[in-house]
Every structure is written in structure tokens, then in C-alpha cells.
Amino acid sequence: MIMKIENTTAQMRKGILEFCILSLIAGKDLYTTEILDTLKKGKMLVVEGTVYPLLTRLKNADLLQYHWKESTSGPPRKYYSITPQGEEFLSELKEVWKELNEAVQIITTQK
């Protein structure tokens, strides 16, 4: 089987994406476009479409919730906020991320 670099990077990104989205929303309530913009700025996102199924999945898992807010320009916006379960989940993810980061650091710098 031929390994494609795009596939691997996409898989890597995707794994971290949930983590990123949760920590973004944990900071403050955001609506979808804001999430997209921040992620794109951080080069975490290639195509926007990826985010929608993720958001829905996190919401269905009760890690996120949303409410509608009127906007000054255009239709009402969907604002996402984190739930207590979400916070718990996020802190666990942070823990794992730290460990992974250190482990990868150690392994990749060892020669």
C-alpha cells in the first residue's frame, strides 16, 4: 500500500482538531465562523467542511451545547459553549496531549 503524505497529515490534524475546537470554545462562546477563522489562521484547517461533522459529533456527545443569538448583520448565529462534561473531557485530553508531546519530543530527538 502506498502511503500518501496528505492522508497521514490529514489524519494527524483530524485527531488534534477535536482537542483544538474544545479548547477554543472553553475560552469563550464562539459561533461557527469564528471557530473556522481561528482554526484557519492557525493552519489547523485545510477545508472547512471537516469542522461541521465534528461539531455535531461533540454536541451529540454532550461535550458542547449551542444557543442561537441574533446578529446585527444577517441571520441568527449558532453560538457554541462547553458543557461540564466537555470541560472534564478537555482536561483529560490536555493531559494526554502533554504526555504525547513529551514522548514524541523524546523519541524524535533521540538519534
Please state the closest distance from residue 110 (CB atom) to another protein, in A: 30
Helix (H) or strand (E) holding 98: helix 84-109
DSSP 40-92: HHTT--S-GGGHHHHHHHHHHTTSEEEEEE--SSSS-EEEEEE-HHHHHHHHH
Please state the closest distance from residue 90 (CB atom) to another protein, in A: 19
Chain residues binding another protein by CB under 8 A are 7, 10-11, 14, 32-33, 36, 46-50, 52-53, 55-57, 59-60, 74-75, 78
Please identify which residue in the block is written with the cell numbers 461533540.
Answer: 58
Please state the closest distance from residue 54 (CB atom) to another protein, in A: 9
Nearer to another protein, 78 or 94 (CB): 78
Nearer to another protein, 36 or 44 (CB): 36
Confirm if 2 and 39 have CB atoms less than 8 A apart.
Answer: no
Please state the closest distance from residue 8 (CB atom) to another protein, in A: 11
d(CA 78, CA 59): 12
Nearer to another protein, 60 or 110 (CB): 60
Nearer to another protein, 50 or 81 (CB): 50
